[in-house]
Amino acid sequence: MSIAVASDHAGYPLKKLIIEYLTEKKIDFHDYGVFSEERVDYPDFGVLVAREVVAGKHQFGIIICGTGIGISMAANKITGARAALCCNEYMAEMARRHNNANLLALGGRTTTIDLAVRMIDVFLNTEFEGGRHTLRVDKIHALTER
Ligand code: RB5
């Protein structure tokens, strides 16, 4: 399993801790930035990770901005990206079980590293249930309205 990770400047402090965690756990990852707290635009990083995951380079992505809101909005513009902004373990579990989320979005200013790690563990280790949920997820991807 390979994970793509990126944040904007507001998510950078949490990303650093997540990178330490993934390294310690020997989980394969690629860090797409940022590498400092210099101001950047979160859509650039949400889209970057979404494209790599949709292209099949990584199974999952973890994307972090201040709240997780903007970066998930941007990532979800990419067809095939299913970014879920999660605030607790239940959301992380259901994002996988029911929504087949492939991107976990976190708020760097709203999430402790302890909670982030618990959500990451649940997210990476929960399978999509399929069945009736497959049709619903397919309906999301069929939406191309302007
Ligand atoms: C940056 O200040 C902040 O707006 C951004 O990280 C994010 O929270 C947007 O959704």
Q: What is the 3-state secondary structure (H, E, C) of the chain?
A: CEEEEEECCCCHHHHHHHHHHHHHCCCEEEECCCCCCCCCCHHHHHHHHHHHHHCCCCCEEEEEECCCHHHHHHHCCCCCCCEEECCCHHHHHHHHHCCCCCEEEEECCCCCHHHHHHHHHHHHCCCCCCCHHHHHHHHHHHCCCC
Q: pLDDT by residue (tens digit) across 99-138?
A: 999 999 999 999 999 999 999 999 999 999 999 999 999 9
Number of domains in the chain: 1
Residue 85: which CATH number? Answer: 3.40.1400.10
Identify whether the C-beta of residue 2 lies closer than 8 Å to the C-beta of residue 100. no
Verify whether residue 87 is a known catalytic residue: no
Answer whether 68 contacts ligand 1 (Cβ < 6 A): no
Identify whether the C-beta of residue 101 lies closer than 8 Å to the C-beta of residue 94. no
Answer whether 52 contacts ligand 1 (Cβ < 6 A): no
Q: Quick one: which atom of ligand 1 is closest to the CA of 69? A: 10
Q: pLDDT by residue (tens digit) across 52-98?
A: 999 999 999 999 999 999 999 999 999 999 999 999 999 999 999 99
Task: Residue 128: give the domain boundaries.
Answer: 2-142
Verify whether residue 86 is a known catalytic residue: no
Identify whether the C-beta of residue 63 lies closer than 8 Å to the C-beta of residue 105. yes
C-alpha of residue 7 to centroid of ligand 1, in Å = 10
